[in-house]
Structure 1
Amino acid sequence: MTANDHLDCFTPELVIIPCGSRKLDRPARAADMYVGSYHRACRKAADALQPDRLLILSARYGLLGLDDVIEPYDTPHGAADAITAHALREQATLRDILFLDPVVALGGARHVGLVRTIWPHARTPLAGTRGMGEQMARLAQLRTGRDAHLT
């Protein structure tokens, strides 16, 4: 079995990608709000995985569908007004996604840590990378199907 075979038969039920610090300066759909290169790279990698569901984990709003319209904000993960694990669990329950499997979490350590409070079994293909450059390279590999870090 090759690395591509792992991806060819792998379709996640849910992929969660991070928000981003670079945003539009006006209300917009979550799919359009985040304009930074890291968020866009995560989005392209997620799209390549062809998940049943794709959500954005916003530091302020929590779980967002691509069509959810939001206001711009400046809230980093861990800030006083940031989403909490408890609120995230409530959102997952309301969306009826609490028991999905497989779940893939793309993003840095804070993002993945929060996702894993709800989905401890989440696959984290960026784990073990040492910095933004390695993460961007791994996202590019996921996008082109040349990575087996999901198994």
Structure 2
Amino acid sequence: MNRIVLISCVSQKLPQKAKAKDLYTSTLFKLNLKYAKTLQPDGIYILSAKYGLLNLEQEIEPYEKTLNKMSKSEAEQWACDVLEQIKGICSVDETEFVFLAGEKYRKYLLPHIENAEIPLKGLRIGEQLQELNKRLTA
């Protein structure tokens, strides 16, 4: 079974165009990416409020958009669009997804994904940082 890690975008970004893996600058994003790599998945992608599913090497412009400010219908449409993007890279039924993403980024995707793992579920940001640091130093 394939394994894909999905990391949510963050508000802290570089001020200029960059590869997706470099654009997001928060400690949480950097630790999520570092941890994702230790899982040796078949792919790591970013869930972007503006761009949908991003390949780490994809060059994008900085933006100010978040799922936190979207209406329910906008967030549902975003999830439908992302799900179509995911179907373009793998078989949803034959892939295990590891979500390193907040509730808003998972909420409308999870009903369509049978094999999902959420290692940091229920942890606040500070707790996520602690857990990621613990897992990375273990």
Query: TM-score if structure 1 supplies the norm length?
Result: 0.78
- Unmatched tracts of structure 1, length 5 or more: 1-10, 147-151
Q: Going by fraction, where is helix more abundant, 1 or 2?
A: 2
What are the residue-to-residue correspondences of 1:72-91 with 2, within 5 Å? 72-78=62-68, 79=70, 84-91=78-85
Q: CA deviation at 1:38?
A: 1.1
**CA shift digits 1:115-144 (9 cap, x unpaired):** 424424310001132x11111122223323
The structural deviation recorded for 1:107 is 2.2
Counterparts of 2:134 and 2:114 in 1: how far apart (Å)?
Answer: 24
Correspondence for 2:107: 113
Dislocated runs of 4+, deviation >3 Å: 80-83
Amino acid across the alignment from 1:30:
A
Q: Which residue of 2 aligns with 1:92?
A: 86
TM-score by length of 2: 0.84
**How far apart are the structure 2 equivalents of 1:49 and 1:42?**
11
Aligned CA RMSD, in angstroms, stands at 2.2
Listed one character per residue, the Cα deviations across residues 64-95 of structure 1 (whole Å, up to 9, x for unaligned) are 11111111110011426766111011111222
- Structure with bigger strand share is 2
Residues 1-151 of structure 1: pairs in structure 2 closer than 5 A = 13-78=3-68, 79=70, 84-129=78-123, 131-144=124-137, 146=138
> What is the CA–CA distance in structure 1 between the aligned matches of 2:92 and 2:80, rounded to whole Å?
13
